[in-house]
Amino acid sequence: MDDVHAHSGAVYLLAPGEQVLEMAVMAGLPRAFAAPWERVGLSAPVPVAKAVRERRLVWVAGEEDMARDYPRIAVVLPYPFALAALPVATERAAYGAIFVTWPGTRPSDLSDRERDHLSAACGRLALRLERAVEEGYPVRPEPDLLAPASVATVAGTLGTVEAVRMVARLPYGLCALDLHGRITFANAAAGKLLGLPVSGLLGTQLWASVPWLNDPVYEDRYRAALLSQQVTSFVALRPPADWLSFRLYPTTNGLSLRISRARAVTGAGRTELPPGEGGSRLVTISQVLNLASALTEAVGVQDVVDLVASEIAPAVGSQALVLLGTQGGRLHVLGHRGYPDPQAVERFDGMPLTAQTPETHAPNSGVPAFFESRRQLERVYPARPTTADGMAAWAYLPLVASGRPVGTCVLAYAEPHAFPADERAVLTSLSGLIAQALERARLYDTKHQLAHGLQAALLPHSLPSLPGIEAAARYLPATRGMEIGGDFYDLVPTFGQAAAVIGDVQGHNVTAAGLMGQIRTAVRAYTTVGRPPEEVMRSTNRLLIDLGTDLFASCIYLLLDPAHGRAVMARAGHPPPLLRKPDGQVRTLDLAGGPLLGIDAAATYPTTEVALAPGAVLALYTDGLIESPGVDIEDALAGLSRRLAEIGDQPLDELADSLVRHSGTERDRVDDVALLLLRARTG
């Protein structure tokens, strides 16, 4: 550090048996400044890890470089400073890495002398570590190296007594802070302005000892001063109405703090900070965390678009946005907001990724692009087609998830807009969060479409029209999980009669749905060849056992004979059907039956004959219709019976909708719901 005039640095060593760098010693600044990076994976997007991976010096010239290349660091440390990271390695092995930092006022390039000094120092350290390994000497722990506390030179020139008298006569407060932010000296004026005795300030951190300064914003200013080695300031309100100005003068061994009164500007019923004395970053870390939390709740692609439009765009001052996805080598518009004319964004849809535009450059390169004015954009992309979209500045953020480009987020501004380094860092970090949310949302939408397509393919597209029988059916997937399940129903014409079946395969996932399709096909095949109900059930049971699955299924199968006013039913562990007679009375049919399908290969399924008078309604359902948390199943069944008795004369489609709606399962379902209604016609 001394050789290259750096003011902080750290040594990392590879953890034994791990692909992890661990901070061994920090110098020049408190370790808390680098706390998020005390342990760094070799694959992490941070300079020390990159230096080891690529066995070369990594140079970050300042805020803009950090915001562009390492946005996660820039969000936490949005200050002007430069950084160099180098591997500590020999030709045979890597042992770790170092980084050193300089104030942001230094030249933007490393000189050859600085590069040589840094490389030579790392080379010497690597050789020492290599010898230590060969000779079996462990690397011992070492204390961090902070600069010694500052020593006042005034006392040496004017004398201790006169120095104290001079400081006491000053009309403003003076404090000295060490590198940890602790107060090592304060004059009487400082204590008076802060409202605490000097003895209560010494040895404490300013933001910890003064309650109204207990705000991360003020600690952030102290960090900014130390890391950038530039004078920083802020204004704070001392209750109830006194504004104080704080100005920090940093050196490599601490800070001097000047405290004075500041005038507040009051207007329109509110108190404002004095101009030029404060100001906060556009999006704070707490806002980033809040936005990250909101993005985790996004389910589908439209949710992501709505969230970016309602939360992120306003937070960064953007007036319009376009969210673009990549698919098949082209861009596709996933959603947009804020453009008066939607045609302004239609040109993005179908744009090939080979086009030379900022929209395609972002996902192709993985590097964000910021244009503060239309003139700047047209200078870089002169061939880009211009549109009258009313916007004057743009941020093009690459959306990269799992190392793969998934799209571009375009934020547009109605007026020319400067993008300072801290704002670029925040936007770049947010683009990563948006990309992850978008990737999850696209997978969810794909899964959702697949589930619904599979379910639709496995269930009847429509019910056949049968003489003497009117039918209606409803299927609702579970609202939790894959929204696909094993509930099924069918109505099959056979030899002048009709067979109906309803069943429920255990589970509501792809496996259950696949098995359901096999069972439904088997039932239809056995029905078509004319087997009686008990034999259809026995054959289906044996098939399920032969398939070797661990899943079971419940089922009711019935053969309808409307010409003779009867139905023959067989039951396998399924909830009992309901029969509404023409006079409105509802009866629960407690049918004889056998165990669930798939348990016992020798099981038998006795049948029951039920009278089916003209106008009677049979309600067949799965347990999802009557089961809900906190409700007794007997009470739920009784409620379904009452509802069927009250409205059973409705047209069958209306009746089906009413029964599903009344069951309370229309919105929140832990299980699938299937309902099959059969009414014997009167004529």
User: What's the helix, strand, coil split of the chain in %, to 5?
Assistant: 35, 30, 35
* SS3 state at 526: helix
Cα separations in angstroms, 342 against 3, 326, 336, 388? 59, 20, 8, 11
Q: What is the pLDDT of residue 132?
A: 92
What integer pLDDT is reported at residue 280 of this predicted model? 41
**Start and end residues for every CATH 3.60.40.10 domain found in the chain:** 459-680
pLDDT at residue 173 greater than cutoff 50? yes
Residue 338: per-residue pLDDT:
87
Instruction: State the average pLDDT over residues 236-256.
Output: 89
Q: How far apart are CA 82 and CA 45, in angstroms?
A: 17
DSSP 8-state class, residue 464 = P
Tokens of 152: 């006042």
Highest mean pLDDT pick, 75-84, 456-465, 624-633: 75-84
The residue whose two tokens read 């007679």 is 581
Sheet holding 20-27, edge to edge: 39-41, 20-27, 8-14, 94-103, 81-89, 58-60
SS3 assignment, position 191: helix
Residue 266 host element (H or E): strand 265-267
pLDDT value, residue 661: 84
* pLDDT confidence tier of residue 13, bands split at 50, 70 and 90: very high
Per-residue confidence band for 81, with pLDDT thresholds at 50, 70 and 90: very high
Q: What average pLDDT does range 268-273 have in this prediction? A: 37
Pick the CATH number of 162-261 from 3.10.20.90, 3.20.20.80, 3.40.50.620, 3.30.450.20: 3.30.450.20
User: What three-state secondary structure class fits 167?
Assistant: helix
Amino acid at 364: N
At 617, list the tokens: 């309604």
Contacts with 491 (C-beta within 8 Å, 6 or more apart), sequence order: 460, 463, 464, 466, 471, 473, 498, 499, 500, 676, 678
DSSP letter (8 states) at residue 597: B
- Tell me the C-alpha distance between 622 and 559, whole Å: 19
Q: Which one, of 570, 551, 546, lies nearest residue 513 by Cα?
A: 551
pLDDT at 365: 86
**pLDDT band, very low/low/confident/very high, at 580 (cuts 50, 70, 90):** very high
pLDDT over 50 at 156, yes or no: no
Could you give phi then psi for residue 145, rounded to 5 degrees? -110, 100
**Average pLDDT of the segment spanning 310-336:** 87
Classified as helix, coil or strand, 281 is: coil
What digits encode the pLDDT tens for the residues 445-464? 777 677 667 666 777 878 88
pLDDT 10s digits, 644-667: 999 999 999 999 999 988 765 555
pLDDT of residue 246: 93
Average pLDDT over residues 28-50: 89
- Please name which of 494, 500, 428 lies closest in space to residue 463, comparing C-alpha atoms: 500
pLDDT, the chain, mean: 84
Q: Of 146-150, 388-392, 404-408, where does mean pLDDT reach its minimum?
A: 146-150
Structure tokens belonging to residue 416: 């020319």
Give DSSP secondary structure letters for 590-623. ----B--BTS-TT----EEEEE--TT-EEEEE-G
Portion of the chain with pLDDT greater than 70, in percent: 87
**What local confidence, expressed as pLDDT, does residue 161 receive?**
63
Give the 3-state secondary structure of residue 9: strand
Tell me which of 3.10.50.40, 3.60.40.10, 3.40.50.920, 3.30.70.940 is the CATH number of domain 459-680: 3.60.40.10
| CATH 3.30.450.40 matches 294-449 | yes
* Inter-residue contact 517 to 458 (CB < 8 Å): yes
Alpha carbon distance 338, 359 (integer Å): 18
Confidence check: pLDDT of 268 > 70 = no
Summarize pLDDT for 346-356 with one digit per residue, the tens: 888 898 998 88
Q: Which of 275-289, 396-410, 616-630 has the lowest mean pLDDT?
A: 275-289
Q: Amino acid identity, residue 571?
A: R
Helix or strand (DSSP H, E) at 225:
helix 216-228
Are 49 and 42 in contact by the 8 Å Cβ rule? The answer is yes
The pLDDT, as a whole number, for residue 164 is 66
Place of tokens 């107060």: 183
Of the chain, the percentage scoring pLDDT greater than 90 comes to 38
Query: If we measure between CA atoms, which residue out of 400, 398, 394 comes closest to residue 370?
Result: 394
Cβ neighbours, 10 Å, residue 462: 8
pLDDT in tens, 355-390: 888 999 888 888 888 999 988 888 888 877 666 678
Q: How far apart are CA 596 and CA 488, in angstroms?
A: 15
* Confidence band for 194, pLDDT divided at 50, 70 and 90: very high
- Give Cα separations from 366 to 59, 373, 467, 495, 622 (angstroms): 19, 22, 65, 66, 51
For tokens 């404090």, name the residue. Answer: 175
- pTM for the model stands at 0.51
From 3.30.750.24, 3.30.110.30, 3.30.450.40, 2.60.320.10, which CATH number describes the 2-135 domain? 3.30.450.40
pLDDT at 25: 95
Residue 607 CA to residue 594 CA, distance in Å, equals 10
Q: What is the pLDDT of residues 519-571, one digit of tens each?
A: 888 998 999 888 999 999 999 999 989 888 778 899 999 999 888 889 999 99
Kindly state the average pLDDT of the residues 197-215. Answer: 88
pLDDT band at 396 (very low <50, low <70, confident <90, very high): very high
- Give the mean pLDDT of 273-277: 38
Q: Over the stretch 473-529, which tens digit does the pLDDT of each residue have?
A: 998 876 555 456 678 899 998 877 889 999 998 866 677 777 888 888 899 899 988
Lowest mean pLDDT among 78-87, 99-108, 543-552: 543-552
Cα–Cα distance measured from residue 348 to residue 389, given in angstroms and rounded to the nearest whole number? 13
Q: Quickly count: other Cβ atoms within 10 Å of residue 119's Cβ.
A: 14
Q: What pLDDT, in 10s, does the model give residues 408-446?
A: 999 999 999 988 877 887 788 788 888 888 888 877 777
pLDDT of residue 265: 42
Tell me what pLDDT residue 442 has: 79
Strands (E), 351-496: 369-371, 393-401, 404-413, 469-476, 487-494
| Range list for CATH 3.30.450.20 in the chain | 162-261
CA distance 551 to 570: 20
SS3 call for 330: strand
Q: Could you tell me where in the chain the CATH 3.30.450.40 domains are found? A: 2-135, 294-449
CB contact at 8 A, 19 and 42: yes
Distance, CA of 434 to CA of 289 (rounded, Å): 13
What distance in Å separates the CA atoms of residue 396 and residue 364, rounded to the nearest whole number? 12
597 contacts: CB under 8 Å, gap ≥ 6: 503, 519, 537, 540, 541, 544, 552, 553, 554, 555, 572, 573
Give the number of other CB atoms < 10 A from CB of residue 32.
Answer: 12
State both tokens at 213.
Answer: 């300064």
In the structure, what pLDDT confidence band is assigned to residue 269 with cuts at 50, 70 and 90?
A: very low
Q: Which amino acid is at 159?
A: G
30, 7 contact by CB (below 8 A): no
- Average the pLDDT over 7-13 and give the result: 94
Residue 43 has pLDDT above 80, yes or no: yes
